[in-house]
Amino acid sequence: MTTLVIGGGVVGLSVAYGLLKQGAQVTVIDGSDTDARASRGNFGLVWIQGKGAKAPHYAAWSRSSAKLWQGFAKDLKEATGIDIAFSQIGGVEYFTDADALAQDAAGLQGLQDHFDGDYPFEVLEHSRLKQLVPEIGPKVVGGIHSPMDGHVNPLLLLRALSVAVQQMGGRLQTGAKVTEIAGGDRAYTVTLETGERIEGNALVLAAGLGSAEYGADLGFDAPVRPQQGQVLITEKLPFFLKYPSGRIRQVNEGGVQIGASKAETGADSTDLPTLQDLARYAVDVFPLLEHVQLVRSWAALRVMSPDGLPIYQRSTKFAGAHFVTCHSGITLAAAHAGLLPDWIQDRNTAPDLSLFSESRFNV
């Protein structure tokens, strides 16, 4: 019984790692650097506040992942020796616009009510926020602090997952572009660009934006589109920023990461006006960044479903094929490793993911 995982980004590798932990045989087939690869260009947040403000099942699923994250990071460290710099001391969202603050706070209040109070966050006006984060500038009208949020070094996470998968006996085939997938009930044959064929009894389609192409053959819609995000990073600075935010965080290596913009395009190149907006916002929030040097900028492509929520879909054509995609693969990595394997293996302990199926797009 071999499960083929198509795609070795953070989603495919998290699932593969979880399957291996349950004793499954796994082969991960991953393409090349010419593919769009969100796992290599993201912001590294394990972020909960505001997620699923209009979709409580998504908020709950994200939170279940956040709760598993500490153990997930610890397991990866024990398995690989790699410290992925995970921290979950809470996060702060900063606002320079009072209406935006009120709107986000109302969304969080709605979730808190929905979860009978079990959704911790606090709205802080400027002076109280300044006690918590003394570096904020005068343009910051307030913020929202939530102990649920955290962040991680996403490249170390990817590396740790890839090392762990191989150490646990998983096969990781890189530079391997899939050109054809022939499906059947519990019988899959994947053909690579090189002509090589790989066979398995189950299949997980987790190829990010590459999944769209193979959906139809396997009985999925796989409606994913690219959404561009641009990111800036500064020179390394002494640590001053304790809490990450959705748009500014100081990474464990000292640089301050600023971003990410959102644009409905599949172009993965940066443009100056977007980068200027990001920099201006960062300086508004933290004036001390004004004279700090930027050392890198990049654009990467998010993997977006029509409603922005994850898709977990069993094939409507063949037994044993699953499609997995999401727009927050870092946040959900712990759930993908800890909870999805039961669903993929059709165990009765599987989480109920029916609300995340593709049928929601066809009503």
Kind of pairing between the strands at 202-205 and 321-325: parallel
CA distance 289 to 309: 34
Q: Which of 34, 78, 131, 239 binds other proteins (CB under 8 A)?
A: 239
- Please tell me the distance from the alpha carbon of residue 134 to that of residue 127, in angstroms, as a whole number: 9
d(CA 180, CA 130): 56
> How far apart, in whole angstroms, are the C-alpha atoms of residue 80 and residue 73?
11
The CB-of-202 to ligand FAD minimum distance in angstroms stands at 17
Span near other proteins by CB under 8 A; candidates 70-78, 90-98, 289-297, 338-346: 289-297
Measured distance CA(286)–CA(140) in Å, rounded? 9
The answer to whether 234 contacts ligand FAD (rule: CB under 6 A) is: no
Residue 90's SS3 state is: coil
- Which among 276, 289, 298 has a CA at the least distance from the CA of 248? 289
Structure tokens at 215: 């959906």
**Which of other proteins, ligand FAD, none does residue 236 bind to, with CB < 5 to 8 Å depending on kind?**
other proteins
The encoded tokens of residue 253 equal: 């290596």
326 part of the interface to ligand FAD, by CB under 6 A: yes
Element (H, E) at 340: helix 340-344
Q: Does 85 bind other proteins (CB under 8 A)?
A: no
Residue 255 CB neighbours (<10 A): 19
**Among other proteins, ligand FAD, none, partner that 229 touches (CB below 5 to 8 angstroms by kind):** ligand FAD
Residue among 113, 193, 235, 277 that touches other proteins (CB under 8 A):
235
Total residues in contact with other proteins, by rule CB under 8 A: 15
CB of 196 to ligand FAD, least distance (A): 12
The CB-of-299 to ligand FAD minimum distance in angstroms stands at 7
**Whole-angstrom distance, CA of residue 211 vs CA of residue 193:** 16
Residue 192 binds other proteins, judged by CB under 8 A:
no
Q: Which of 2, 25, 35, 292 binds ligand FAD (CB under 6 A)?
A: 35
For the bound state, the minimum distance from the C-beta of residue 285 to other proteins, rounded and expressed in Å, comes to 13
Of 142 and 329, the one with the shorter C-beta distance to ligand FAD is: 329
CA distances (Å), 316 to each of 341, 357, 358, in order? 19, 11, 10
98-114 vs 56-80: helix axis angle to the nearest 10?
Answer: 90
Is residue 134 involved in binding other proteins (CB under 8 A)? yes
Residue number, 145 or 336, with CB nearest to ligand FAD = 336
Among 135, 217, 284, 307, binds other proteins (CB under 8 A): 135
302 binds, among other proteins, ligand FAD, none (CB under 5 to 8 A by kind): ligand FAD
β pairing state of 188-192 and 321-325: unpaired
Task: Phi first, then psi: give them for residue 51, nearest 5 degrees.
Answer: -70, 125
325 binds ligand FAD (CB under 6 A): yes
CB of 289: closest distance to other proteins in angstroms?
9
Residue 40 vs 130, nearer CB to ligand FAD = 40
Where would I find the beta strands (DSSP E) of 97-187?
Answer: 122-125, 142-146, 150-151, 171-173, 178-182
**Dihedral (Cα; 171, 23, 1, 218), 10-degree rounding:** -70
Near ligand FAD in 193-212, by CB under 6 A: 206-210
Under the binding rule (CB under 6 A), the answer on residue 105 touching ligand FAD is: no
Question: Judged by CB under 6 A, does residue 310 bind ligand FAD?
Answer: no
Q: Which of 54, 167, 199, 240 binds other proteins (CB under 8 A)?
A: 240
Residue 66, helix vs strand vs coil: helix
Residue 209 DSSP code: G
Residues interacting with other proteins, by CB under 8 A? 134-135, 235-240, 253-254, 288, 291-293, 295
Residues interacting with ligand FAD, by CB under 6 A? 6-12, 29-31, 35-39, 41-45, 47, 176-178, 206-210, 229, 231, 260, 300-303, 325-331
